[in-house]
Amino acid sequence: MTILTHTCIESAQDERRGEKDVILSVKNISKKFCKTLRRSMAYGIIDLSKNLVGIKPDSTQLRRDEFWALDNIKFELRRGEVLGLIGVNGSGKTTLLRLLAGIFPPDKGEISIKGRTGALIAVGAGFHPHMTGRENIRLNSAILGMSRMEIDSKFQDIVDFAEIGTFLDSPVGTYSSGMRVRLGFSIATAIQPDLLLLDEILAVGDRKFIAKCYNRIGNARARGATIFVSHNMSQINRICTSVLLLHQGKIAFYGSTNEGVQLYNSLCSLGNTERFVHTAPEIRFDDFRISSEKLDWRDDLSFQVKFASTVDIENCRARMVIVDETGQNVAEWQGRNHGKTYNIKRGENVIEDRIPNISFRDSKYYLTFVLNPPDGFSYLILANRYCSFIMTGCGYGVTDHQL
């Protein structure tokens, strides 16, 4: 995949000022892993033996069964910025977070972090299951660098935010995954870190917790920088000032949130492999077309469906489902909501209509046309992902559909 980067030209004074605000600097880091456990253990013993005799192992070259999980990653993060780290499963997102958190070192390159780091990388990570919530708060806060006085002053705030209530003195092993996430996020943000690392923390919590997280992340922006990992592009659009898209361990895109999300959606695209037409025995499908394959913000979308029938069917219902590149339904138009039903006659038939003011985010969308008999359940026509259009002109908003 082509690597796209965005740069901006600043004056020397702006550059010097920007360098002072750089919280995280990642310079050409790479990390390799081994595909087999037995060979990985053998390599570990060899490298350890070399270290014991004062020989530094060469970590820059791949050995048998090794691969680069991350390859030549470089970027900077300044105070006040929220970087969305996105990519399909296995692209290297969690590996990068673990390098930034210091869980293991890179094989090549350099990571520079100014100030404290707060990390929530895995649900329940760092908690001792047999210790109580109270004990884990004190233990984890100390590990993150808080003094005893700081822990005492922020203890109640951590408990209140986590909302673990009467379970404070119960073993963490008895907590639900949601309770562990709330507690971990509360501790990670209570230390007021200069760099906050969050991996899919909003995928587990309920709505109330998610709303509190949005506020907490917003408050954290004034103090430092945040890296936020999620497969939910609505959350990425809402929270992040820029995105880093990883693909197969390399940077596929680094720049604006809007463009990065579009590229991510194209990576997750189902393509046209799901396109098919299903009809009832009495229907012969001929064609389904739309007014244009490229629409600007708030354009009308006109469509036409041609088919033939061997019987008369009155009061049929037509609907259109609009699907994004990831296969998610983002909108639906139903003729009956506008007082429209269709009487099908023997012979050739044409259904034409118009959907006004299409107002989606910039991306590609697929159209599925459905014609139901009066019962509304069985199909006369199902033209799945038959047409597509590209939407342009809207570079803002959190959700795909903008009212």
3-state SS record for 234-278: HHHHHHCCEEEEEECCEEEEEECHHHHHHHHHHHCCCCCCCCEEE
φ/ψ of 29, rounded to 5, equals -85, 150
Q: Give Cα separations from 305 to 64, 96, 279, 286, 364 (angstroms).
A: 57, 49, 13, 8, 21
- Topology (CATH level 3) of domain 276-392: Coagulation Factor XIII; Chain A, domain 1 (2.70.50)
**pLDDT (mean) for 382-395:** 86
Lookup result for tokens 């023997």: 346
Q: What is the pLDDT of residues 174-208, one digit of tens each?
A: 988 888 888 888 888 887 889 988 887 766 667 77
Q: What is the pLDDT of residues 334-375, one digit of tens each?
A: 888 888 889 999 999 999 998 888 888 888 899 999 999 987
Give the CATH superfamily of 4-115+194-267: P-loop containing nucleotide triphosphate hydrolases (3.40.50.300)
Sign of CA dihedral 207, 208, 213, 215: positive
User: Is there a contact between 387 and 366 (Cβ–Cβ < 8 Å)?
Assistant: yes
Domain range list for the chain: 4-115+194-267, 276-392
pTM of this prediction? 0.69
